[in-house]
Every structure is written in structure tokens, then in C-alpha cells.
């Protein structure tokens, strides 16, 4: 039986997808699970796997086309099998071709087109023959011209003046942006205007975080082939602290607060035309070295536009680190339906009190600012503050969470 290949829905509220390329040619054999085509969604370019075994036939859509979700774009058949014809059933029960339906719809749409409101106006105004010819040559709309002749007649001089005015004012340019940048604009606007954000801020001494990176970094680089970063350490620590604060790992839905069994930490990453947040699944159970490997691989795929659907699915908490750009502190916008996002600033030497009470003295320490954005529908200020307090304590003594680089626990 023939299997239809349809434009998949890879995201919430996705209406269309853009076909980037076919990875198999018409008539080639394909196996179930084998990469079949590349599709661009609002987030990234993703490889789509074949839904079954057989021969790829009946390709209807070529690279570059924007296709509605759910539309059949090709068929996979057994050798010698013919793909189904494109037919639709009308009210009478009779089947007619889809092309015929489209033709009828096109004719009906044309018949229902309203007459341009400017048409009577241009017909009622006198236009000299020379002015009409100049307007056609210079692309001037007669409906926009107020004639200077007797009775409002449009003269050739009116057309010349309008064309000169049009040429002297450059037309405005509008950058529609890429699908990723458009989606980012829509979702951040939706989040900012519908999610009741509040923010708590803490400064933390990053000395111990620097020390553990220097201690475990060489071992992880040797065993895993990747450099350990502060983001890797923060992802691991955040995931482990979330175990004590399940409400911070929850989500808001139309029915209320939903608890998430898994702790999946998203890492906000800048790409050429926006920001994506691929996810480290079950980050509380993943060893530190494996987190570093996954972070590197996700970053490479993000930069290459090759993120898979599984790479961006299921995030329950996100970290956005702009420290590498020298940003001291910032606030981040929550990614719904997540309850929170942690904004991380640069580690910089600052003069702070060292010691407690009357024995405290000014000293220089590598300090880092953390800003936690939270959804007030899911957590209150006390819960957010307690989570941030425990995270600051974990950053102050991170080695207790990593017995060795391989185990990570």
C-alpha cells in the first residue's frame, strides 16, 4: 500500500514548511528512518526521515516551495505499484481531479473580485493623451494625481512633476527577516505581553566555578575531546538544583500548572538570523563530560542550520549566557510554556566585601550576576528566591556535585 509523504508539523502552531531539498531522487529506493528530505521551519532546517520502505515516486513539490502542513508532497510505493491519483470527492459523491477543483476555485475567486474603487475616479477625470502616455511610460498612477488643468484635467506637466517627485524620494525598504527571526519576534512579543514576568537578581563569587573548570577541564578534554565551558558547568548545576525545586521546572498550560517529570535544560544560542534554544535532555542525569559534548554538537548543528526536531523539543528550563560578549547583566524573556529562564552575565573582577561581620575587608573577586526571570502564574517570589539561593550555594561549592568528570554526580 502506498505511503504518503506529507509536510510535517514540527512545531506548535506551525502552518507551513519550506522544502529545502530532496535527499533522494524520484525512483530511488528508501528505507524507513532514512533521511528523505530537508525542511525549513520557523526555527531551523531539519532532516525528515522516510515514513516507510519502498520507492520514492510522485514528487509534487520542488526545492524552495512553501507547503501547508499535512499536504502530500510525494509517495513511497512498493516496486511496480502506482501512486494514488490526485482526486477529491465533491458533494454529489462524484470524484474529480484536484486540478479541476483548483481551476473552478480560481474562476470563482476572479468573479468575486471587487472592482477597484479608483477606477471610476480615473475615468471621470479628464486626462490629456500626452499625459496618459507619459504616465504609462514612467509608472505614475493617474489616480494619485491632482490635475492642474481646467476642470482638474491632468496635463503632461503634472505627470512629469509626479515622476520627478517619485524619483527623488527613495522607496522605504522593509526587511521581512528569516523564518527564525520572524518566529523569535512573534514568540517574544507573545511571551512578554501574556506572561506575568518578575525578576530576582543575585551576584555570586565565581572563584570556585573557575577552580572546578580548571581542575576537571583537562580530564574532560582528554576523555571526551571537548573543552569544558562555564555554560556546561551551569547547565549541570542548574539541573541538579532543579531536583530540589520541581516547581521551577514546571510549565503553565490552559488547565493550570503542569509538573514535568524530566529536567531538560535549553541553552539559548545565537545564530545568523536569530536565537535558538536546543535542549540537553535529562540534564540532571547526564555526566558533565557528556553535557559538554552535547552542547558542542548542538551548537555546531545550530550554526549549520541542521538542528533535528528532537534537538529543540521538550525544554523545561532555559539558560541564556551572554558572558562571552562582555555583558555584565541582563534580563531574559521566558520561553513559554516554561516557568523560568536564567540570564548569566560575564565573570569580572570586582571589589567586594571579603569575610563576615566586623572582620570583612575589601577584596577583589571574580563576580558573576545571575538574573532569574519567572512566570508568576507558576512560581512566586519566595520560591524563585529559594531556587536562586540554592543555585548560588552550588556555584560556591560545585565540586560536591561532580565526584569525577565521567560520572558527573
Of 277, 231, 244, 258, the closest CA to residue 370 belongs to 231
Residue 67, beta-bridge partner list: 17
* CB neighbour list of residue 221: distance below 8 Å, 6 or more residues apart: 227, 228
Question: Which contacts of 24-29 are long-range, i.e. CB under 8 A and separated by 24 or more positions?
Answer: 24/50, 24/56, 25/56, 26/56, 26/57, 26/59, 27/55, 27/56, 27/57, 28/55, 28/56, 29/54, 29/55, 29/56
Active site residue 245: no
Please tell me whether residue 288 adopts helix, strand or coil conformation.
helix
Query: Looking at 144, 380, 390, 409, which residue is catalytic?
Result: 380
Query: Looking at 53, 197, 273, 376, which residue is catalytic?
Result: 376
Please tell me whether residue 303 adopts helix, strand or coil conformation.
helix
Instruction: Sort strands 45-49 and 35-40 into parallel, antiparallel or unpaired.
Output: antiparallel
DSSP string, 202-240: EEEE-HHHHHHHHHHHHHHHHHHSS---HHHHHHHHHHH
Instruction: Sort strands 340-344 and 95-97 into parallel, antiparallel or unpaired.
Output: unpaired
Residue 21, CA atoms < 13 Å, CB-side half-sphere: 7
Q: How far is CA 112 from CA 83, 90, 101, 120, in A?
A: 36, 21, 17, 18
**DSSP character at residue 338:** B
Dihedrals φ, ψ of 321, to 5°?
A: -110, 115
Rounded (10°) angle between helices 381-396 and 230-242 = 130
DSSP string, 353-402: EESSGGG-EEEEEEEEEEEEEEETTT--HHHHHHHHHHHHHHHHSGGGG-
Active site residue 380: yes
Active site residues: 376, 380
Amino acid at each position: 500500500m502506498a505511503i504518503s509523504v506529507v509536510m510535517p508539523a514540527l512545531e506548535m502552531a506551525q502552518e507551513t514548511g519550506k522544502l529545502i531539498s530532496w535527499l533522494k531522487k524520484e525512483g530511488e529506493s528508501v528505507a524507513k528512518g532514512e533521511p528523505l528530505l530537508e525542511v525549513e521551519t520557523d526555527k531551523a532546517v531539519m532532516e525528515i526521515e522516510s515514513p516507510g520502505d519502498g520507492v520514492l515516486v510522485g514528487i509534487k513539490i520542488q526545492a524552495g516551495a512553501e507547503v501547508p502542513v499535512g499536504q502530500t508532497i510525494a509517495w513511497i510505493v512498493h516496486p511496480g505499484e502506482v501512486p494514488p491519483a490526485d482526486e477529491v470527492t465533491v458533494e454529489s459523491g462524484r470524484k474529480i481531479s484536484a486540478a479541476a477543483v483548483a481551476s473552478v476555485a480560481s474562476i470563482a475567486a476572479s468573479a468575486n473580485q471587487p472592482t477597484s474603487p479608483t477606477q471610476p475616479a480615473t475615468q471621470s477625470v479628464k486626462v490629456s493623451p500626452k499625459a496618459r502616455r507619459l504616465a504609462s511610460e514612467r509608472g505614475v498612477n493617474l489616480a494619485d494625481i491632482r490635475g492642474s488643468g481646467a476642470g482638474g484635467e491632468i496635463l503632461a506637466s503634472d505627470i512629469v512633476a509626479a515622476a520627478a517627485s517619485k524619483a527623488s524620494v527613495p522607496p522605504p525598504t522593509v526587511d521581512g527577516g528569516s523564518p527564525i527571526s520572524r518566529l523569535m519576534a512573534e514568540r517574544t512579543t507573545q511571551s512578554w505581553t501574556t506572561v506575568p514576568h518578575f525578576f530576582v537578581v543575585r551576584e555570586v563569587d565565581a572563584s570556585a566555578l573557575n577552580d572546578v573548570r580548571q581542575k576537571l577541564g583537562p580530564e574532560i578534554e582528554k576523555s571526551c575531546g571537548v573543552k569544558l565551558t562555564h555554560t556546561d558547568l551551569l547547565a549541570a548545576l542548574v539541573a541538579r538544583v532543579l531536583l530540589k525545586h520541581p516547581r521551577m521546572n514546571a510549565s503553565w498550560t490552559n488547565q493550570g500548572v503542569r509538573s514535568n517529570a524530566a529536567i531538560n535544560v535549553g541553552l539559548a544560542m545565537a545564530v545568523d538570523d536569530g536565537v535558538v534554544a536546543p535542549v540537553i535532555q535529562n540534564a540532571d542525569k547526564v555526566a558533565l563530560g557528556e553535557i559538554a559534548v552535547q552542547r558542542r554538537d548542538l551548537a555546531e548543528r545550530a550554526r549549520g542550520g541542521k538542528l533535528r526536531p528532537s534537538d529543540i523539543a521538550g525544554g523545561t528550563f532555559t539558560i541564556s549566557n551572554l558572558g562571552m560578549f562582555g555583558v555584565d547583566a541582563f534580563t531574559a524573556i521566558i520561553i513559554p510554556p516554561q516557568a523560568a529562564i536564567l540570564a548569566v552575565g560575564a565573570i569580572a573582577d570586582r571589589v567586594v566585601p571579603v569575610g563576615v561581620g566586623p572582620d570583612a575587608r575589601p577584596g577583589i573577586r571574580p563576580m558573576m550576576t545571575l538574573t532569574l526571570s519567572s512566570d508568576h502564574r507558576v512560581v512566586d517570589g519566595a520560591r524563585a528566591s529559594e531556587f536562586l539561593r540554592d543555585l548560588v550555594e552550588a556555584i560556591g561549592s560545585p565540586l560536591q556535585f561532580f565526584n569525577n568528570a565521567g560520572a558527573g554526580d
